Amino acid sequence: MDSTWYTLREEDSILSPALLIYPHRVWTNIVRMLKITDGPERLRPHVKTHKMAEVVSMQLASGIRKFKAATIAEAEMLAGTGAEDVLLAYPLVGPNLDRFVALQQQFPQVIFQAVVDHAEVLELMSECFSYHGLEIPTLVDLDLGLQRTGCSLEEAYALYQAIAELPGIFPGGLHAYDGHLSQRDYEERKAAVMEVYQPVTELKERLIAEGFEVPAFVCGGSPTFAIHAEYPDRECSPGTCVLWDAGYQHLAEEVPFEPAIALFTRVVSRPGRNLLCLDLGTKSLSTDSAERVQFPDYPDAKIVHHYEEHMVIELPGADQIALGKALYGIPWHVCPTVALFEEATVVEDGIARGTWQVLARRRKITV
């Protein structure tokens, strides 16, 4: 990997560990997303990966107007930055129902959309929204096998019908996430998408045939982005594409995205032969995968221990690496890694030029 894009010219002023972001690579990824969908009309990027208002501003500047969020805070960040259409793709239960109302009241110019997967929640949404004089477009969230959220295809028709009949809500379409379709072979992944979505397409066609409006059909994530883009009736909602990571570089080699984030860490000790201790602990890096991070300058490095504030790696020739030396890493899973940092250092032409706040890492901004 070319080290010129992530290496800082002046490292001494940067505290470690640090999250580095490279705007020119972010912009390149945005342009490539738009090329895949042939423009912004069918693109509804998820902001859960970056959680930064500055990245949203870049996406808005590219012509993107629709977005997807997983938290109220992300939705508020989007509205505050100028997004026109925000889909909150997360069940509205507990206090989040009232927070959603407050969000719509605070940003009346924004179209906020909701999802639902259970009739009992739908009734609460209808009661709450109608009480406040709101009419919220609501999408049925479908479970395609991930078994996380979403109703079954058998339950979806009745739920959609209820949305059309209850006050305070109206049909917004269908939402389907396919995060379990992660075959490394592209053709196998594409075949799996076609198989899984065939009954969804039949449901959509049945709804339309029976007189229901289905304004949006929001599908997929980053690994299946290019596949869904081939279908003109689908909105695509990739998230990781804008920053990319080592995990998806490994999984989805066929897509043209590039990492726009790097981790900056230092050697703090040499605990043994061929061992280095870095200040890149579990509080600075996602631990939901065994690989965790790749060090492009040291491809033979292997993690042997990982503690809250320390990472011990095994590396041939480690004894020759000076204490205090800076290393750069590409996270295996960028989304939860970004959320561990309050800010990202902006790097342009190898120079640190300020910071961007990871604003929506908060559970609450104002609402």
> Which of 358, 255, 344 has the alpha carbon at shortest distance from 18?
344
Report the number of distinct structural domains present in the chain. 2
In a domain, 306, yes or no: yes
> Pick from 213, 243, 273: which residue ends a domain?
243
Question: Average of pLDDT values for 215-238?
Answer: 97
Question: What is the C-alpha separation between 356 and 26, in angstroms, rounded?
Answer: 13
Question: Letter for the amino acid at 284?
Answer: S
Question: What is the C-alpha separation between 328 and 315, in angstroms, rounded?
Answer: 15
- Answer for the pair 236, 293: CB distance below 8 angstroms, yes or no: no
Residues 215 and 295 grouped into a single domain = no
pLDDT at 4: 83
Residues 286 and 184 grouped into a single domain = no
In a domain, 255, yes or no: no
> Pick from 243, 275, 291: which residue ends a domain?
243
Is the backbone of residue 185 left (phi > 0), alpha (psi -120 to 50) or beta? beta
Question: Letter for the amino acid at 310?
Answer: H
Residues 305 and 222 grouped into a single domain = no
The pLDDT tens digits of the residues spanning 59-70 come to 999 999 999 999
> Which of 188, 214, 172, 152 has the alpha carbon at shortest distance from 85?
172
Residues 169 and 290 grouped into a single domain = no
In a domain, 10, yes or no: no
How far from 334 is each of 49, 133, 204, 301, CA to CA, in Å? 7, 40, 33, 19
In a domain, 236, yes or no: yes
In a domain, 217, yes or no: yes
Question: Average of pLDDT values for 280-295?
Answer: 96
Is the backbone of residue 38 left (phi > 0), alpha (psi -120 to 50) or beta? left
Around Cβ 272, how many Cβ atoms within 10 Å?
A: 13
Residues 318 and 230 grouped into a single domain = no
pLDDT at 255: 87
Residues 189 and 312 grouped into a single domain = no
> Pick from 243, 278, 306: which residue ends a domain?
243
Residues 183 and 140 grouped into a single domain = yes
In a domain, 71, yes or no: yes
CATH number for the domain spanning 145: value is 3.20.20.10
- Answer for the pair 16, 266: CB distance below 8 angstroms, yes or no: yes
Residues 235 and 335 grouped into a single domain = no
Question: Average of pLDDT values for 110-136?
Answer: 98
Residues 235 and 264 grouped into a single domain = no
**Full domain range(s) for residue 345:** 260-361
Question: Average of pLDDT values for 198-206?
Answer: 98
Task: Flag whether pLDDT at 353 surpasses 80.
Answer: yes
Distance of CA 273 to the CA centre of its chain: 39
Please give the DSSP secondary-structure letter assigned to residue 308: S
Place of tokens 């196998």: 188
Question: Average of pLDDT values for 337-361?
Answer: 98
pLDDT at 348: 97
The pLDDT tens digits of the residues spanning 16-68 come to 999 999 999 999 999 999 999 999 999 999 999 999 999 999 999 999 999 99
Question: What is the C-alpha separation between 364 and 360, in angstroms, rounded?
Answer: 8
> Within a 13 Å sphere around the CA of 93, how many CA atoms are in the beta-carbon half?
9
Question: Letter for the amino acid at 281?
Answer: G
Task: Flag whether pLDDT at 2 surpasses 70.
Answer: no
pLDDT at 1: 55
CATH number for the domain spanning 352: value is 2.40.37.20
